[in-house]
Amino acid sequence: MAARIPYFDTSYLVRLYLEDHGFERVRELAGTGTSVASAWHAKAEVVAALHRAFRERRLQQETYRTALDQFIQDSGDGLLHWLPLTDDVQQRLEGGFRKASATTFLRAADALHLACAAEHGFTKVFSHDRHFLAAAPLFGLKGVNVIPAASSD
């Protein structure tokens, strides 16, 4: 499975539903596979991110509910493939933190993503988060960002 579909962290998954910077490139990348993979906990992260956009008034209530409904439907239709968080994933997570230097910024949710992707045979992970991308090698992964840098215009 890992070779046929891309692995997205939450920063990329959210761009499938919100028109945040770089969403076009992320959606194009998503279209290269039969589905998109991510760790199971990202389901909660995406729902929370959509609600945050609503709370911050970046989405009107109807648009928020439409995006949430679409996410739920895509999950149910198998367009989003949720990888389980297992004891083996936890052991990889622990190993990643063991390798991390004192200056490594690695959040628990990001470590779950990275350990899960590695455990399930992915070699590449896609994200817009610089800390996530910097930590990817701790898990034997290549972190890739297809979103161009924001212009300062």
Whole-angstrom distance, CA of residue 104 vs CA of residue 116: 19
- Residue 84 tokens, joined: 């389980």
User: Rounded to an integer, what distance in angstroms lies between the CA atom of residue 4 and that of residue 34?
Assistant: 7
Q: Which residues of the chain fall below pLDDT 70? A: 1-3, 151-153
φ, ψ of residue 124 to 5 degrees: the values are -130, 140
- What are the chain's domains? 10-143 (3.40.50.1010)
Amino acid at 146: V
Amino acid at residue number 67: A
pLDDT of residue 26: 97
Look at residue 2 in the predicted model and tell me its pLDDT: 54
Residues 6 or more apart in contact with residue 75 via CB below 8 angstroms: 43, 82
Q: Report yes or no: 45 and 109 within 8 Å, Cβ to Cβ.
A: yes
**Entry pTM:** 0.93
Query: According to the model, what pLDDT value does residue 149 have?
Result: 83
What single-letter amino acid sits at 101? Answer: S
Cβ 91 vs Cβ 112: under 8 Å: no
| pLDDT of the residue at 3 | 53
